[in-house]
Amino acid sequence: MTIQMYNTLRRQKEAFAPMEEGKVSMYVCGPTVYNYIHIGNARPAIVFDMVRRYFMYRGYEVTYVSNFTDVDDKIIKAAEETGEDVLTLAETFIRAYHEDTKPLGVLPADKHPRVTEAMDDIIVFIERLIEKGYAYEVAGDVYFSTRSFTSYGKLSGQDLEDLQAGARIDVDEAKKDPLDFALWKQAKPGEIAWQSPWGEGRPGWHIECSAMVQKHLGETIDIHAGGQDLAFPHHENEIAQSEALTGEPLAHYWLHNGYITVDDEKMSKSLGNFILVHNIIQQHDANVIRYYMLQSHYRNPINFNDELIESAQNSLNRIQTLVDNIKHRLQESADLGSEGNWLEELDQYRYAFVREMDDDFNTPNAFTVIFDFVKAANRYLDEAHSNVQVLEGMLELLREWEEVLGLTFERAEEVLDEEVEALIEQRIQARKDRNFQEADRIRDDLAARGIILEDTAQGTRWKRG
């Protein structure tokens, strides 16, 4: 089977054909670090981490690069408001990014380049664009000449004439064409700046990623990815400046994830629905947040609210309960019952999962396969006898899936105090002795303490109420 993915560049699904057999080079635009990341930032981090994991599962060697924009207008403004040094503030929120995304199951990139570490590369890149006639300097600012790149708009489908109609030039800009965009900005008094052939200043947003892609992955890469909001102008401008310089494609495949709304409204500070990951993972299990993000197709828009998170929690609980039940049965020294066709069926479920994921990383359909498996596995556990090899195979398959999806299908071990544990044991014994009045009394006592008991075919379980 071949992995198919929707390529924004050609607006269709295409079979993945890497530049180098068995290897994938992948660049994902990272955050501008002036604050904690919000759930809109979390979606591409989770989605493209899943894509990376799936390529690895399918046997590819993946080089995954995701940058930090650590100097920018927003960072400078935030530093002015707090009285902090720009680079100190950026470092604070780079650390916060790692702290917030780790619980979400996001693996660290192979490289996390920073703009401030790539300044020499950015300056050389701009110099070469000027030499080739694609860029020009005006009083310390450098602009890319958009019309000089004849295929501008090919990623986003934007037409230059339509863009011209809506374009404007700010009063402090001296660019030749309203469509031209900044490669280098002259520093304002007191701003952080770097020395360049055009005077002190700092790079424009788009040139940063072009330079870092080339530095860490080369002139052409397999996959460039990011949020749908980056397709234009950011990725369009990346293509223009990179391909103008090299004459080669910047990336063969462009992947973009859909938008996220909160209670069906666009997220914004003015509406008071700006949700930071730093806060939400203190209110909800981060594992559930990741499951919620992946239960919809990555290209579709998704809505965020507490009811949907609770629904995601319930769905994830079904898988976790199956894992609990399988492990409990194995601890009971399961009878060596018949394997039946189960070992063969495990391979069929494995194949079905791969088939769905090969179709543009279709996680909702992959979860359908998983829940079909959960239903069938529960029926198997309801039988009087089970086979150790089958049970171990079930756990192995679930662990494969959780590794691909970056989820945890096992509940964290929680220790009860000795008194509560003793009461649970007393109730189990009371049920064995058919003293149901005493068993009910203990159950109600525990419920009052927030401990809910469930009597299952695999024994008595407890959970927090």
Query: Which residues make up each annotated binding site for ATP?
Result: 269
Backbone dihedral angles phi then psi of residue 107, each to the nearest 5 degrees: -70, 145
User: Across the strands, what pairs with 177?
Assistant: none
CB atoms within 10 A of CB 132: 12
Measure the CA–CA gap between 254 and 26, rounded to whole angstroms: 10
Measure the CA–CA gap between 71 and 203, rounded to whole angstroms: 9
CB 16 within 8 A of CB 4: yes
22: left (phi over 0), alpha (psi -120 to 50) or beta: left
Question: Amino acid identity of 244?
Answer: A
Tokens of 301: 């828009």
**Secondary structure of residue 63 in the 3-state scheme:** strand
Residues making up the annotated binding site are: 29, 209, 234, 238, 269
**Which residues make Cβ contacts (< 8 Å) with residue 404, sequence separation at least 6?**
50, 53, 54, 57, 357
Measure the CA–CA gap between 164 and 38, rounded to whole angstroms: 33
Residues making up the annotated binding site for Zn(2+) are: 29, 209, 234, 238
Buried b (16+ CB within 10 A) or exposed e, 220-231: bbbbbbbbeebb
**Which residues make Cβ contacts (< 8 Å) with residue 74, sequence separation at least 6?**
32, 34
Pairing of strands 61-66, 135-138: unpaired
**Which residues make Cβ contacts (< 8 Å) with residue 85, sequence separation at least 6?**
79
Tokens of 299: 């290209």
